[in-house]
Structure 1
Amino acid sequence: MFGSGSDRPGPYVSPSARELLPDAGDVGAPPSSPLRHFEPIALPKLPGKPLAPTIDLPGLPAYAPTNGPDKNFLQRRQTLSLRAVLSEGGAQVPNGLVWRLFSAVPPIDGSSSLIASSQSATPDFDVPPGTYILHVGFGRAGIVKRIDFAGVKIQETVVLDAGGLKLNAVVGDDGKPAASRLSFDIYSEDENDEVGRKLVASDVPPEKVVRLNAGSYQVVSHYGSANAVVRADIRVEAGKITEATLTQRAALLTMKLVREHGGEAIADTAWTITTASGDLVRQSVGAFTTIVLAEGDYVIAAKNSEKIYQRPFSVEAGHDADVEVLTSDLAATSDAFGTGD
């Protein structure tokens, strides 16, 4: 406790803080200035009172960086090298690969766990030791594999167990090619699935190699866009290109309405083609209509100037032909075009 009167100490400011105070004439907050170090505070001299012993303290910096261990030191990165083969003991796949390396533990925030990706034939991933999930895509073939990387530089071989499928088709017994109007759909082998077979590839042109996982598939061949459809079950072998040629029982036909055989086609004609049992196959409008139809019996109806002309005809596989409808083939009713209700 201090006494009253002259023994009471007055206000005191440390020398380091005094440097920050404004002059007497300044108004407002004092300007900011970074502290370079903390100085020891000198104690005031009191009359008749001995000073406390002085302590010589070194100046302390305002910021001291943390000299902690580097995370790269704790998780030393090594090279994980990869290569792929189609089958066990097969040659290395030279191109067409897509590699994606994921963390085995997904992030808490739900973000992607993709660590690295590459399209190289032999990618090198510089990653710390740990467990990873690897996905390798090869066309429509692919494999997912768990990798336990010990941090030792190695080259790991991934067996894709995949092959290729090349499709084509011919028309009729003579083996006439039909490439200009031919396409294929490929479905998975799982016919016991509740939703049926899964579509793997669609609108595949002939002679194109489709990369697939080894296994059985159902192939659907479309010749044209009407009813010329053929199905076949085909097995793809790992490390091989499987070639398959299907046979279409169909023909390419051109329809036209004429006043006499070999005459000029009449424009603005509406066409309706049905099976012999009355099932609708195709409708179109134009002077000519070209269509691929499966082998069988049909009825063709042509409507022009509110008149309907109709005749039956047959399709023989592989025999492309022109089908002429004469204006003398006047239909008795207009049932082929419906009532419009």
Structure 2
Amino acid sequence: MSPGPRIGSPLSRARSAVGGFGDTVRDWWAQAPRWQRWVVYLLLLLLAIAAPSPVIGSFMSPYTDWPSLLFNPIGTYILLAIGLNIVVGHAGLLDLGYVAFFAIGAYTLAYLGIKHGFTFWPTLILGMVLASVSGVILGAPTLRLRGDYLAIVTLGFGEIVRITAINTNEIGGARGLTPVPHPPNLFGVEFLLDPLPYYYLVLAMIVLAIVFSLRLERSRVGRAWTAIREDEDAAELMGVPTFKFKLLAFAIGAMVGGLAGVVWSGKVIFIAPTNFPFILSATILAAVLLGGAGNLPGVVVGAFLIAWLPERFRGFADYRILVFGAALVIMMALRPQGLLPSRRRSAEMAEHSAGSAMGAEVANPSAAPVEVRK
């Protein structure tokens, strides 16, 4: 067997160069006083508010309308990634059917608004509740499973929701539903086809979701999720009710997905089952892993890149997806733990790499020949 990669190999040096800056920023942030953090929060919020400026858009999106791109897919992907990060990053549960909760939120607004005349804001709450209940319905019989088995079940749930929508005429069937009602005027702002008000609406929802997620992460619930992710058996032996907390993670993650579905459907006017394919779940999962699962700033950055890069490469025409895929491969090769991973995630990856290297060394039959005597 050939020896593993040397520490001084070009790939290792490239990983160190790419990861050095991110680790420096992360360590500074961990030790920064509270006032510096609030200054950074304020600057980032001001940057997000000023983001639709044509000056920024001329560079960031020369081929696409920049405010429309900020709302969808960028804003929508970030909101979905925050919700999926609760399930995957905090609790360590692999969910491949997350698009189902997004669809439930979208269909809640479309059905109740068109068929029963519900307005946007009450339906927003109902969509979040229905998505959360769906997360409980999915999790209650399946969260005894782990790993690949749980992933297969969640994948099946996502497909069940999509196929049910195709075959249910009451919610439009394969034809879909239209016109989905817009949000009512808010502070004199009209929500019609202008993407700018919708961007600020989804920005407000992202800020609320970030605050909510951070509060959860630093609470008793967040510590229980961390214990479950690290070693579920050990957590259960220490008295953590693992099933209850895993079910809570599914419910809260689903609630954020339903929120994103309601906000998104209020803008697009028309929804159909084809809007909710499996590839959307895989894309949001890729955003969480690319940014650094379990680390909220990294997840936001990963979702932004996943949504923005294909549009930035639109000038490559048919080759833009190839360029986008190559960029993702390079990023993950140079930074397998994510662009901005948490300290715990970095330690896990380092320990895994060290263990693999030691295993390869021991398993190499040519490393230590043994003489057999008769």
Shorter chain as denominator, the TM-score bin is under 0.3
The TM-score, its normalising length taken from structure 2, stands at 0.17
Q: Which has the higher strand share?
A: 1
The TM-score, its normalising length taken from structure 1, stands at 0.18
Q: Which has the larger radius of gyration?
A: 1
Q: Which has the higher helix share?
A: 2
